[in-house]
Amino acid sequence: MTTPSRVVRLTVDDVIHDDDQVLLRLGEPPSPVPAPVADLLLSWIPNRDNMNTATNRDSRWLFPGRRAGQPMHSDALSALVNDLGIPTTAGRVSAIREHVLEMPAPVVADALGYHQVTTAKLAAQAGSTWSRYAAGDHLRSPSGWIPGRTDDS
């Protein structure tokens, strides 16, 4: 899950335009960007805000800030996105709730970089059935455990 604080740290080098496909490097491998968003992204790059000051002319930030050499503040980006009618916090929480309904909260926390308490609370609110999941390494046998005999052995 990519938060506004991570999005503002993207640079124009994180946007990969390869023939007919646009990819965004949010992690590895880069993620494909759907066509309507890709068009907006590609048209944004040459027309980015805050590029007129002498110290920002060569900025590589995808979302340059008002201060030279700094990206846009994450709160400013969230406000812009909210002004477009996209509720960033509600959307993020909704997405996490969907994940905790499909898999255990500790797994979601590890995968998305959230604290396990946060995902556990969202799982409880969403009515998740994974409440008895035991987090941890399930590949090792408990200490002192001896496998039982089967008919094959």
11 pLDDT band, cuts 50/70/90, is very high
52-60, long-range: CB < 8 A, 24+ apart: 60/11, 60/12, 60/13
Q: How far apart are CA 132 and CA 105, in angstroms?
A: 10
22, pLDDT greater than 90: yes
Q: How far apart are CA 64 and CA 66, in angstroms?
A: 7
Closest of 76, 62, 58, 55 to residue 25, by C-alpha: 62
Residue 23: the pLDDT is 92
Residue labelled with tokens 């400013």 = 76
Closest of 6, 44, 43, 40 to residue 25, by C-alpha: 6
Question: Mean pLDDT across the stretch 20-31?
Answer: 87
pLDDT tens, 47-73? 887 677 656 777 888 888 888 788 888
Mean pLDDT score of the chain, rounded to an integer?
79
pLDDT tens, 95-143? 788 888 888 888 888 877 788 888 888 888 888 776 666 666 656 666 6
Task: Give 120: exposed, middle or buried? Use CB within 10 Å, 0-12, 13-18, 19+.
Answer: buried
CA distances from 85 to 49, 80, 115 (A): 20, 9, 28
pTM confidence score: 0.57
